[in-house]
């Protein structure tokens, strides 16, 4: 029982990291209808920027906040000067652009900071607390807490503010939105900026656990993509729940299913994905999209 | 200009060109040194892999990020069959049939999802494939990998190994290219194109997008199997590293840079896959990923059709330059272009 609780809490903690990336992907998808494969790369870049700020002597929490702000502008910049050209065209081309972007950003990180592992300090103390007999690290609890707060802010933003309403309007129908006087381009930039800022949070959370390398987020990105499909592309809540589900199930499967073990546990989200999609193609929390000719 | 293209379109010219190509393919491997031959053979291997990717992505418009998985699967089946000393023809058939079968099973599930979900399912293939290959050590040799030496020149042929291997690649790859070309130019190719253009329209015309997506996916996997077999012919060694995610992305980049939805573009893509990383590595290994990403984005910005569209783009620019001076050309040019604007005679005409 202790092991079980331990595994569940650890699973929720890693799941929270996938959730932060998944939220960023949902955000861009909701604003542009696009899957952004570069999201993991942007998060890595943000983590490196936060690292650089700490090297320059900023306290960790300020370094992370500064990298969140810088990342917002990087995201907005990418939308304005790169993605905008491809937004109206073939969506497949736009997806390939984000793949190129992923390669480019990873390459830039490798070029500036090299492929060597760097130590990134953790925001939370390395202490542990005991819950129901299981030893749980404060870092796990802190990560879970941060993600829940962000998810609530995002839900509030989308459902309770004018900006959120405008973002949703642009996503659903950019042309009508622009006829009603919304500045579509500006809103898309904000959407990308917010997504990059979220990615920065994910980067700062994941970097202490994995040590900082250019390819650090590749695995997390794949989990996040799986979470986004399982949760349904249109739902921030669904993405977070699915990410937690993946984190927990993966941990449990690694221990309780011998064939899977630690090296094959990355297959777990995809087995889950197949099951969910065959039963419910729009995802657990997603809306069904109707296509008209 | 027109006479030149007119001559190129005559049937006897095409046949002569084909014959010339075949003669070159037979003679050149005898002339080149071993290094060139093996580079050419590797280009052939990846040209076939890119060709398979083109069937599903270029022609049918489904983003596919796991093509390397099928290449690796074909390579592993070949290596295993050779290590069991099965007949090589049987190994070849198995490498194709099993890869196609796995492709079919995945496609049956993936094609249900539509759109970007296919991209996200296919991204899983190399990512799950690498630990799977390590885990199934009994068949795959685990992290050590498998090597198979079966492609040395036979004793009756007075050839070096590199020449024999290049001939095998040219023969098998050439047949694959020919069959694929016929496929995408025929009835199936038209159906693929309609599915790519608009799935809802395809469905309303009685063309089942699901059926054709599954078909294209399976053919892509099958061609990946051919490429995997050739991989073992040329490289003779495979390990989990063969099917890593990075290589899969590189294949997608190569396809786009060569030219999506193009037969010649597939060959250019294969050349890009083999040659450019070598070049960027010479400049600075730490820069390789950045240069690769930058090249892809530049191509998407400046040359969306890929390298294969370069002659067409140049021809268009040249033609605009030529016509700028002639009388009454302004009406013929559909769009205002910088080339014509800078042309002195055009400017003069506008002034008067």
Tell me what ipTM this predicted complex has.
0.81
Q: What is the pLDDT of residue A293?
A: 52
Q: How far apart are CA A209 and CA A188, in angstroms?
A: 32
pLDDT in tens, A192-233: 898 899 889 888 888 887 788 888 888 888 888 888 888 877
Residue B1: the pLDDT is 47
For B265-303, the pLDDT digits (tens) are 999 999 999 998 888 888 887 788 888 889 999 998 888
pLDDT digits (tens, 9 = 90+) for B107-164: 887 887 766 778 877 888 888 888 888 888 888 888 888 888 887 878 787 788 888 8
Q: Do B256 and A96 touch (CB under 8 A)?
A: yes
Cβ pairs bridging A and B (under 8 Å): 122
> Which residue, among B114, B115, B272, would best test binding to A if mutated, counting the most A CBs under 10 Å from its CB?
B115
From A114, A225, A266, residue closest to B120, measured CB to CB: A225
Burial class (CB in 10 A: 0-12, 13-18, 19+), A262: exposed
Say which residue, A91 or A162, is predicted with more confidence. A162
Give the residue from B253, B198, B109, B126 showing the smallest Cα distance to A229: B109
- Residue A161: other Cβ atoms inside 10 A: 11
Residue among A104, A106, A229 minimizing CB distance to B117 = A229
Residue B231 above 70 pLDDT? Answer: yes
How far does A219 lie from chain B, in Å, by closest CA?
Answer: 8
Which region among A240-249, B27-36, B236-245 has the lowest average model confidence (pLDDT)?
A: B27-36
Q: Inter-chain contact A267–B113, Cβ cutoff 8 Å? A: no
Helices A2-32 & A218-231, crossing angle to 10 degrees?
80
Q: Report which of residues A136 and A247 the model is more confident about.
A: A247
* CB-CB under 8 Å, A264 with B135: yes
**Given this model, what pLDDT does residue B335 score?**
39
Output the six-digit token pair for B271: 């050349």
Chain A's closest residue to B116, CA to CA, is: A35
The percentage of residues in chain A with a pLDDT greater than 90, rounded to a whole number, is 17
Give the whole-angstrom CA distance, residue B180 versus residue B176.
6
The pLDDT value recorded for residue B275 is 92
B42 touches B169 (CB < 8 A)? no
C-beta separation of A157 from A164 below 8 A: yes
Window 121-160 of A: residues touching B by CB (8 A cutoff) are none
Cβ separation B119–A35 shorter than 8 A: yes
Cβ(A211)–Cβ(A118) under 8 Å? yes
* Phi-psi category of residue B343: left, alpha or beta, with phi > 0 → left and psi -120 to 50 → alpha: beta
What is the tens place of the pLDDT at every residue in A20-74?
888 888 888 877 778 888 888 999 999 999 999 999 988 999 999 999 999 999 9
Q: In this predicted structure, what is the pLDDT of residue B114?
A: 63
Coil, helix or strand at residue A137:
strand
Query: How high is the pLDDT of residue B348?
Result: 36
* Most A CBs within 10 Å, among B131, B250, B276, to test the A interface: B131
Candidates B277, B268, B296, B306; CA nearest to B44 is B268
| Averaged pLDDT for residues B207-230 | 94
């Amino acid at each position: 029982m202790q092991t079980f609780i331990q595994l569940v809490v650890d699973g929720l903690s890693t799941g929270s990291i996938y959730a932060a990336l998944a939220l960023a992907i949902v955000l861009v998808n909701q604003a542009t209808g696009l899957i952004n494969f570069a999201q993991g790369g942007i998060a890595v870049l943000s983590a490196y920027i936060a690292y650089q700020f700490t090297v320059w002597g900023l306290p960790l929490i300020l370094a992370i906040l500064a990298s969140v702000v810088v990342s917002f502008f990087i995201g907005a910049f990418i939308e304005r000067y790169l993605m905008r050209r491809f937004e109206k065209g073939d969506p497949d081309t736009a997806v390939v652009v984000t793949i190129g972007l992923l390669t480019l950003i990873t390459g830039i990180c490798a070029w500036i900071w090299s492929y060597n592992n760097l130590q990134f300090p953790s925001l939370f103390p390395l202490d542990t607390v005991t819950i129901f007999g299981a030893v749980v690290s404060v870092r796990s609890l802190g990560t879970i807490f941060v993600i829940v707060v962000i998810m609530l802010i995002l839900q509030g933003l989308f459902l309770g503010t004018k900006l959120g309403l405008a973002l949703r309007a642009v996503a659903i129908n950019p042309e009508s939105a622009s006829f009603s006087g919304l500045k579509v381009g500006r809103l898309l930039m904000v959407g990308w900026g917010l997504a990059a800022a979220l990615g920065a949070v994910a980067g700062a959370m994941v970097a202490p656990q994995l040590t900082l390398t250019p390819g650090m987020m590749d695995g997390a990105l794949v989990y996040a993509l799986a979470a986004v499909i399982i949760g349904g592309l249109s739902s921030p809540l669904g993405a977070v729940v699915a990410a937690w589900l993946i984190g927990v199930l993966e941990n449990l499967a690694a221990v309780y299913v011998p064939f899977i073990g630690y090296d094959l546990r990355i297959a777990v989200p995809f087995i889950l994905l197949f099951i969910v999609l065959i039963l419910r193609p729009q995802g657990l929390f997603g809306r069904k999209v109707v296509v008209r000719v | 200009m027109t006479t030149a293209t007119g001559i190129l379109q005559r049937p006897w010219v095409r046949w002569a060109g084909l014959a010339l190509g075949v003669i070159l393919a037979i003679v050149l491997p005898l002339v080149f040194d071993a290094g060139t031959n093996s580079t050419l053979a590797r280009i052939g291997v990846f040209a076939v892999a890119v060709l398979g990717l083109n069937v599903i992505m270029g022609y049918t418009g489904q983003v596919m990020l796991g093509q390397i998985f099928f290449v690796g699967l074909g390579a592993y089946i070949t290596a295993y069959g050779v290590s069991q000393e099965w007949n090589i023809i049987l190994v070849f058939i198995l490498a194709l049939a099993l890869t196609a079968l796995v492709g079919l099973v995945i496609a049956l599930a993936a094609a249900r999802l539509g759109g970007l979900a296919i991209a996200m399912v296919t991204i899983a293939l190399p990512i799950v494939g690498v630990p799977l290959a390590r885990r199934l050590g009994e068949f795959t040799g685990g992290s050590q990998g498998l090597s198979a030496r079966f492609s040395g020149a036979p004793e009756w042929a007075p050839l070096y190994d590199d020449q024999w291997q290049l001939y095998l690649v040219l023969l098998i790859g050439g047949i694959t290219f020919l069959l694929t070309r016929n496929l995408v130019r025929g009835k199936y190719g038209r159906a693929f194109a309609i599915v790519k253009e608009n799935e809802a329209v395809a469905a309303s015309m009685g063309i089942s997008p699901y059926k054709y997506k599954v078909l294209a996916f399976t053919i892509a996997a099958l061609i990946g199997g051919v490429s995997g077999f050739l991989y073992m012919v040329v490289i003779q060694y495979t390990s989990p590293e063969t099917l890593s995610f990075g290589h899969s992305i590189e294949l997608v980049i190569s396809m786009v840079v060569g030219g999506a939805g193009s037969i010649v573009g597939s060959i250019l893509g294969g050349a890009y896959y083999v040659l450019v990383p070598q070049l960027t590595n010479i400049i600075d290994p730490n820069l390789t990923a950045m240069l690769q990403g930058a090249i892809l984005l530049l191509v998407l910005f400046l040359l969306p059709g890929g390298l294969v569209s370069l002659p067409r783009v140049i021809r268009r620019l040249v033609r605009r330059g030529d016509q700028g001076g002639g009388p009454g050309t302004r009406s013929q040019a559909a769009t205002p272009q910088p080339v014509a604007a800078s042309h002195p005679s055009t400017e003069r005409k506008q002034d008067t």
